[in-house]
Amino acid sequence: MKSERISSIPGLFISALRGGSGKTILTIGITAALRSLGKRVAPFKKGPDYIDAGWLSLAAGNPCYNLDTYLIDHDTVVSSYLTNSAKLGADIAIVEGNRGLFDGIDIDGKTSTAETAKLLQAPVILVLDCTKSTRTMAAAVLGCLHFDPDLQIGGVILNRIAGPRHKNNLINNIEYHTGVQVMGAVPKLRSHDFPERHMGLVPTPEHDWAFDSVRNAERIIREHVDLPRIIALSETAVPFERDCRVPTDLGAINPESPVIGVIRDASFQFYYPENLEALEAAGAQVVEISPLRDRRLPEVLDGLYIGGGFPETHARELAENVTFRESILAKVKEGMPLYAECGGLIYMGEELEVDGLVYPMTGLFPLAFSVSKRPQGHGYVVADVTGDNPFFERGTQLKGHEFRYSKITRWDRKEKDAAFTMARGTGMADKADGITQYNALATYTHIHALGTPSWAPSFVSKALQYKTR
């Protein structure tokens, strides 16, 4: 690591009054449209989201990093914003907010998009769902302006407009009563162009038409939004600079480095880029593998990381690849470290039930799962490390989040099995989470490497021990 003085770049936040206002689709379109103008965009997602971040990454042609003031302390959030913008050589940073602009975890709005926008001294564009509404939208914008005068709301984009008369009525009322510029007015879109899965857009790796959807979003923005105004607003972000710690050898290949495999495909795609980069910064080589493509684990692996995703959509293929599942079990029994989150936890269980059919999984842990139509765990969590495990010391407190529709239908549990006790959140069962065996740990809790800095060095250390055993 070395310390560098890094300056901020033009940037802005795109937020809304509530979730479901169409903010993600418009942010994707704005990002793609700026890129088509020759702008190098650094995309960010505020909050612990994987799916929106994947779409923003596709639109920008760059990794999308997560800014979350619950999982990560404020100084590290600022450092991440600066260092990743600089690393990408970006001209502009676009941050998509989550939920409503002021929605946080307490009465003071901690962890809200507004808090993060003020932390990074960037203006906000507010996306308004104008369905069956006209002058009331002006009142809503005026309320936001007065609710937090320290926040710079620099413009609004009208969404789901019914027609020209609706549009003109809204523009006249909002600009007259609030003084805030209307930067675009987008008509109602066809839902099949941007289908949804669970709590967000369909994960981009699942469909070849994702590029067409991004191009469609770009076209909508070009036709209905004033891009020069958006660029000009981003340049009003208050410039600042900080001393930031920057890895000096990220991505360097060392033949003595342990090799950590990451299962990444349409069934397992929920990874923060910061987590993978943290493994590399700690000295590992990271390689991607897939039970949908590969017949077994590569012999060179010294560790395995399985993130979340939707294994239920590929349960048959996962079950049929017996040789891959057997190769995982063989390596873990030899002592290879394995870390699995959510979907990875399911894959490490014995079976998964989907629509009445039961599919065998890897069988490392005595667990059976089924998939529900309603969320079974969703939101921020706090896990106290109370049991022995390969990666975290007892007494450590982990901040993370849950994002799942699956539930455990059978757990042949012994008291020593649980590594975590949930101080906040659901966990696997009875406020317990984290099941461990050999050098493997699987959990429903998603963590972020910047908020849990001990995770990557511990993982790489275990992988090095296995490599040199």
The domain that contains 152 carries what CATH number? 3.40.50.300
- Looking at the fold, whether 344 and 462 belong to one and the same domain comes out as yes
Pairing of strands 418-424, 124-129: unpaired
- Looking at the fold, whether 300 and 233 belong to one and the same domain comes out as no
- Looking at the fold, whether 53 and 87 belong to one and the same domain comes out as yes
- Looking at the fold, whether 65 and 205 belong to one and the same domain comes out as yes
370 within 8 A of 411, measured Cβ to Cβ: no
User: For the whole model, what pTM was predicted?
Assistant: 0.93
- Positions annotated as catalytic residues are 342
Kind and range of the H or E element at 41? strand 41-46
Range of the domain at 390: 251-467
CA atoms within a 13 Å half-sphere pointing along the CA-CB vector of 175: 12
- Looking at the fold, whether 67 and 115 belong to one and the same domain comes out as yes
Residue pLDDT tens, the chain, 469 long: 678 899 999 999 999 999 999 999 999 999 999 999 999 999 999 999 998 999 999 999 999 999 999 999 999 999 999 999 999 999 999 999 999 999 999 999 999 999 999 999 999 999 999 999 999 999 999 999 999 999 999 999 999 999 999 999 999 999 999 999 999 999 988 765 565 554 455 666 556 778 888 999 999 999 999 999 999 999 999 999 998 888 765 555 677 899 999 999 999 999 999 999 999 999 999 999 999 999 999 999 999 999 999 999 999 999 999 999 999 999 999 999 999 999 999 999 999 999 999 999 999 999 999 998 888 888 999 999 999 999 999 999 999 999 888 999 999 876 567 899 999 999 999 899 999 999 999 999 999 999 999 999 999 999 999 999 8
- Looking at the fold, whether 18 and 81 belong to one and the same domain comes out as yes
- Looking at the fold, whether 425 and 448 belong to one and the same domain comes out as yes
Domain termination site, one of 201, 223, 244: 244
Within 10 A of 467 (CB to CB), how many other CB atoms are there? 17
- Looking at the fold, whether 232 and 270 belong to one and the same domain comes out as no
Kind and range of the H or E element at 244? strand 241-246
22 within 8 A of 160, measured Cβ to Cβ: yes
- 94: amino acid identity, one letter: I
Total number of domains constituting the chain: 2
97 within 8 A of 23, measured Cβ to Cβ: yes
